[in-house]
Structure 1
Amino acid sequence: MDFQLSDEQRMMVETATRVGDQFGLDYWRAQDARKAFPKEAWAAICDAGLSGVALPEEYGGSGQGMLEMALIVEALCAAGGGATVAQLYMINPIFGGVALAKFGSQRQKDAMLPALIRGDINFCMALTEPNAGTNTLEIRTFARPDGDGWRLSGQKIWITAVPDAQKMLVVARTRKLDEITRRTEGISLFVIDVERDGLTHQAIEKVGTNTLASSTVFFDDVRIEPDEVIGTLHGGWSELLDVLNTERIVTTAGLVGAGTLAIRLAVDYAKERRVFSDRPVAAYQGIQFPLAQAHAELQCARLMNLKAADQCDKGLPYGSEANVAKLIAAQAAASATERSMQAMGGMGYSKEYHVERLWRDARLFRFAPISEEMILNFVAMHDLGMPRSY
C-alpha cells in the first residue's frame, strides 16, 4: 500500500491551500455573520480548476477521482473555511456532478456539466422529508404522470443551498408504496429548475453552517418535463446510493480539515498564553493531551477516508470504509473543536478567535448526512454479521 502522494496530487493540494488562504478565517467569519453564500470563494475554487477534479475532462473537469477530491476538500477546509466548505462540494460536484456524469443523458451532460464545473450554476438535492428522515425508502413526495412528463407534489426538509441554486436534484416516488412489492422500487431522480411554478421554499433558522441556507421545500403540482429524468425511471434507488456514498467521502474530508484547523488555532493561542507562570499554557499536559488525542483520531479517520476514496476510484466496495471514516471523523472533529475552545478559555467562546464557528459547523455532521447511530447499525449488520436491529 503506497501512502505517498504523486507530484500531481501534491500540486492539487498546494493549489487548494493557496486558494483557501485567499479566503481565510476573517472572510468565513464575515460570511457566517451575514448568512451569505460564499460566492467569491466558490468562484475562485472553480477558476482554479478544483471543482471538477473528479468529473470528465470532456466537460472541463480533470478526470481524476474521489481520492483527489478528498485531498482538495481537506486542504480547503483546513485553510480557514472549516467543515461547511465540504458542503459546497456536496451540492455541486457530488449531487450535481456525480449524478449527471454517471446517469445523465448526453444532452443533460452537455447542457449542465460544463456550467457546473465553471461555477456558473449551483445545485442542491431534495431528498429528506419530515416524516421519513433517515428512512429514505419511506419518502412520499410523488411525481404522477402528466402527458409526456410528470406533476410533482410533496414536501422536503433540511435541503441545503436552495436560495443560491439554479438546479435541484429531486428524489421522488413515481410509484406509490402500495403499488410495489419492494420498497426500493418506484423511486426516480429528476433535475429541475429551482425557479419553477409551484416550487417554494422557506429558510430554517439553525445553529451553524450559516453560509449555506437550509430550507423546507414545498412542491405543489410542479411540472417536470420528460427530459428532466436522471437515470432509470422507477429504478433510481441504486443510482441514488452511488451519489450518497461519495458524499460520505467529501464529508469526512471536510471534518478532518476543520478539526486540523481548530487544533492549529488552539496550539497557536496556547503557545502565547501565559497564566500563573512564565511558561506558556501549551506546556501543560492538561492542554496538550486532549489536543493530541483529537489529532490522533483525526489522522485515523483521514487514512480510512483515503482508503475509501481509493477503493471507490478502483471500483471496489468502499461502503464500510466510508462509513467508519465518517463516524470517527465526526466524533474527532467535535472533540477537536470542543477541546480547542477549552484550551483557549473564554476567548475560545468569542467570535474573534474563530473556533466557535468551527465548533458550531462541525456539530451538524454528528447526525448528517448520516447519523452515528445508522453508521453503527451498518457496521453491526454488514461488518459483524449481526441481525437487523431496526
Structure 2
Amino acid sequence: MEMSGFTEDQLSVREAITKICSNFPDEYWAERDESGEYPHELHAALAKDGWIGIALPEELGGANLGISEATMMMHTISESGAGIAGAQTMHANVYATQPIAKFATLEQCRRFLPDLISGKTRVCFGVTEPNTGLETLKLRTVAKRDGDFYYISGQKIWITSAQVTSKMVLLARTTPLEDVKKKSDGLSLFFIDLDKSATGLELKKIKKMGGRAVDANEVFFDNYKIPADSLIGTEGEGFKIVLHGMNAERCLLAGEALGLGYAALTRASDYARDRVVFGRAIGQNQGIQHPLAASFMNLEAAKLATYHAARLFDASVKDETITPHSVGVACNSAKYLAAEAAFTACERALLAHGGMGYAQEYHVERYLRECFVPRIAPISREMILNYIGEKVLRLPRSY
C-alpha cells in the first residue's frame, strides 16, 4: 500500500497495531479458522494497550481519536493476515459504542464504557432480524415497558461474537409500526446485559463459510427482562441514534476489506516472483502481472475513497457545512468500492497461485472466503446502488 498522505496519528496507529499483530501470523489464523476457536488473545492484546477505546472520549478512558484512525486500525489488523475474523474481534466494540458515547447520559457512559475499553466486557450489536433483513424500519423485536423494566421479545440474527460478549447494543420496537407517524419512529436503542443464564434468552450459533474463528448467532428473546435505564436517548428515536454508528461502520468495514485485499495481493506478488514455470517466474507473464497490477490500482482508488469518507465523518462533528447526506454518500461509496476491490484482489490472488491457491497452507483461499462479508454486510451492494441512484442521481426509488 502507498503510505503517502496519511496523518501522523494514522501512521502511529498503523505502526503500533502492526507490532501487536506480528504476534499473530497467518498460521495462527489458519488454525483458528479450522478449529473455530475464538481469538481471545488478540482482543486481550489490543485491550491491554487501550485500542478498544480508540474513538471514544479521553475522560472515559478512550484515546479520543477519530474514525479515520479507527479505520486505519481495522485496516491494519485485517492486512496482517487476521482478515475479517481478526477485525471482528474489535469491530462492534468500536462502531456500536459511537452512538452510546454521543447520545447516552454521562452517568450511562461512565457505567457502560470504561469496562468495554479495558476489555473487561465486550459488546455485540443487535439489529438484523430474519424476517425483515434490510428493512430495518420494520423490525419486529419489541420492548414493552412495565414500571422500571422493559421486556424484550423477538429474534435477532447474524449477531457476531454473542457467544463471548456480555453486553449488547439492541434496537427494538417500543411503538407498533401502525401507530407511528413516520416509519423511522417507534424504534428505541438499548445497552443491555446479555446474561446467558437468565430466563428469556437463547443463543444458537450459525455455521458459516468464512471467518469461522468468530461466532455468528441467532439470538432469541422471550420476555427478557432489562432495566428501564438501559434505554439510550429518547424512546422512539433509536433509528436516528443508530444511524450515527452505521456510517462509522461503513468506514471501518471498508478499511477491513482493504486490508484483506492488500494482504492477498502481497501473497500473490510474492508467489509470482518465486514460482518458476517454463524457465521463468510466472510474474513475468502479463497474464499474471497485469491482473495483479490492476488490483493494486483498484485498492488504491478505494483506499482514497475510504479515508476521504472517514475524514468527512470526523469533520462533520464540528463543521456544520458537512451535511449528513454528504457523509452518507461518502461512507456508502467507500464501503462499496473497498468491498469490490478486495473481492477482485482476493480472487486474482488465488488464481495467480494456480492449484496451490486452493490449498489452505497458502492462505489466499481463506482470504477469498472472508472477502464476501464486506460485499454482503451490513448492507448489500445492491442497496448501496439503490441509495446512490435515489439520493445522488435523483432517480425514482426502485425498492
TM class, shorter-length: over 0.9
Match of residue 284 from structure 2: 283
Contact conserved, 1:85 with 1:254, CA < 8 A, in 2? no
1:369 and 1:102 map into 2 onto residues whose CA distance is 21
Match of residue 118 from structure 1: 118
Choose from 224, 227, 249 the match for 1:225.
227
The alignment status of 1:266 with 2:268, answered yes or no, reads yes
SS of aligned partner of 1:82: helix
The alignment status of 1:353 with 2:362, answered yes or no, reads yes
With structure 1 as the length reference, what TM-score do the two structures score? 0.96
What letter corresponds to residue 116 of structure 1 in structure 2?
A: L
Alignment of 1:87-236 (within 5 A): 87-95=88-96, 97-195=97-195, 196-236=198-238
- What's the offset of the Cα at 1:346? 1.3
With structure 2 as the length reference, what TM-score do the two structures score? 0.94
What letter corresponds to residue 313 of structure 2 in structure 1?
A: C
Q: Alpha carbons of 1:83 and 1:295: their partners in 2 closer, same or farther (altered >3 Å)?
A: farther
Contact conserved, 2:42 with 2:86, CA < 8 A, in 1? no
Please give the per-residue CA displacement for 1:5-44, whole angstroms capped at 9, x wherever unaligned: 3333322211111111111111111111121221101111
Unaligned runs of 5+ in 1: none
2:233 and 2:367 map into 1 onto residues whose CA distance is 37
4+ runs deviating over 6 angstroms: none
1:246 and 1:87 map into 2 onto residues whose CA distance is 14
Match of residue 256 from structure 2: 254
Please give the per-residue CA displacement for 1:136-174, whole angstroms capped at 9, x wherever unaligned: 011111111212221111111111111011101111000
Contact conserved, 1:87 with 1:251, CA < 8 A, in 2? no
The alignment status of 1:292 with 2:276, answered yes or no, reads no
Alignment of 1:40-51 (within 5 A): 40-51=41-52
What letter corresponds to residue 243 of structure 2 in structure 1?
A: L
- What's the offset of the Cα at 1:313? 0.7
- What's the offset of the Cα at 1:99? 2.7
- What's the offset of the Cα at 1:223? 0.8
1:5 and 1:338 map into 2 onto residues whose CA distance is 28
What letter corresponds to residue 391 of structure 2 in structure 1?
A: H
What letter corresponds to residue 330 of structure 2 in structure 1?
A: E
SS of aligned partner of 2:350: helix
What letter corresponds to residue 51 of structure 1 in structure 2?
A: I
1:327 and 1:15 map into 2 onto residues whose CA distance is 28
Please give the per-residue CA displacement for 1:152-209, whole angstroms capped at 9, x wherever unaligned: 1111111111101110111100001121121111100111111132111101111011
1:225 and 1:373 map into 2 onto residues whose CA distance is 38
Match of residue 23 from structure 1: 24
- What's the offset of the Cα at 1:285? 0.7
Q: Alpha carbons of 1:177 and 1:8: their partners in 2 closer, same or farther (altered >3 Å)?
A: closer
Unaligned runs of 5+ in 2: 317-321
2:241 and 2:41 map into 1 onto residues whose CA distance is 32
Alignment of 1:297-376 (within 5 A): 297-315=298-316, 316=322, 317-376=326-385
Contact conserved, 1:15 with 1:48, CA < 8 A, in 2? no
What letter corresponds to residue 133 of structure 1 in structure 2?
A: G
Contact conserved, 1:160 with 1:215, CA < 8 A, in 2? yes
SS of aligned partner of 2:22: helix
Contact conserved, 2:142 with 2:154, CA < 8 A, in 1? yes
Q: How many residues in Structure 1 have an aligned counterpart in Structure 2?
A: 386
What letter corresponds to residue 297 of structure 1 in structure 2?
A: N
- What's the offset of the Cα at 1:4? 2.7
Match of residue 242 from structure 2: 240
2:235 and 2:361 map into 1 onto residues whose CA distance is 51
Alignment of 1:66-77 (within 5 A): 66-77=67-78
Match of residue 319 from structure 2: none
Please give the per-residue CA displacement for 1:231-283, whole angstroms capped at 9, x wherever unaligned: 22111111011111110000000000000000101111111111111x11111
Contact conserved, 1:86 with 1:250, CA < 8 A, in 2? no
- What's the offset of the Cα at 1:88? 2.9
SS of aligned partner of 1:71: helix
What letter corresponds to residue 342 of structure 1 in structure 2?
A: L
1:7 and 1:236 map into 2 onto residues whose CA distance is 36
- What's the offset of the Cα at 1:376? 0.2
Contact conserved, 1:89 with 1:250, CA < 8 A, in 2? no
Greater alpha carbon shift after TM alignment, 3-12 vs 101-110: 3-12
- What's the offset of the Cα at 1:341? 0.5
2:36 and 2:58 map into 1 onto residues whose CA distance is 34
1:145 and 1:109 map into 2 onto residues whose CA distance is 22
Greater alpha carbon shift after TM alignment, 5-14 vs 233-242: 5-14
1:148 and 1:194 map into 2 onto residues whose CA distance is 18
